[in-house]
Amino acid sequence: MTTVRAVIVDDEALARMVLREFLARHDDIEIVAECANGFEAVKAISELAPDLVFLDIQMPRLDGFEVVELIGAQAAATRFIFVTAYDQYALKAFDCHALDYLLKPYSEQRLAQALAHARAQQSSPVPAVDAVAREAAARAAPVHRVLIRDGARVHVLASSAIDYIEAQDDYVSIRSDSKSYLKAQRLAELESLLDPAKFLRVHRSYLLNIDGICRIEQATRDSHVAVLRDGTKIPVSKAGYQKLRLLVG
Mind listing the pLDDT tens digit of every residue in the chain (249 residues)? 689 999 999 999 999 999 999 999 999 999 999 999 999 999 999 899 999 999 998 888 888 888 888 887 666 688 999 998 877 766 666 666 678 889 899 999 999 999 998 888 876 655 555 554 555 455 555 788 888 888 777 888 999 999 999 999 889 999 999 899 999 889 998 898 899 889 999 999 999 999 999 999 988 887 899 999 899 999 999 888 888 887 765
Residue-wise burial string across 39-70, b where 16 or more C-beta atoms lie within 10 A, e elsewhere: bbbbebbbebbbbbbbbbbebeebbbbbbbbb
Write down the pLDDT at residue 142. 77
Query: What gap in Å lies between CA 61 and CA 76, rounded to an integer?
Result: 24
Q: Give the distance from CA 243 to its chain's centroid.
A: 29
Query: What gap in Å lies between CA 157 and CA 150, rounded to an integer?
Result: 13
Query: What gap in Å lies between CA 45 and CA 57, rounded to an integer?
Result: 16
According to DSSP, residue 240 is labeled: H
Write down the pLDDT at residue 243. 86
Write down the pLDDT at residue 91. 61
Q: Does domain 141-248 have CATH number 3.30.2270.10?
A: no
Write down the pLDDT at residue 19. 97
Q: Does domain 4-135 have CATH number 3.40.50.2300?
A: yes
Element (H, E) at 112: helix 108-120
Query: What gap in Å lies between CA 88 and CA 150, rounded to an integer?
Result: 31
Write down the pLDDT at residue 180. 94
Contact between residue 62 and residue 156 where contact means Cβ atoms under 8 Å apart: yes
Q: What are phi and psi of 162, to 5 degrees?
A: -85, 130
Which sequence spans correspond to the domains of the chain? 4-135, 141-248
Contact between residue 50 and residue 75 where contact means Cβ atoms under 8 Å apart: yes
Query: In the chain, what is the straight-line distance between the N-terminal and C-terminal CA atoms, in Å?
Result: 67
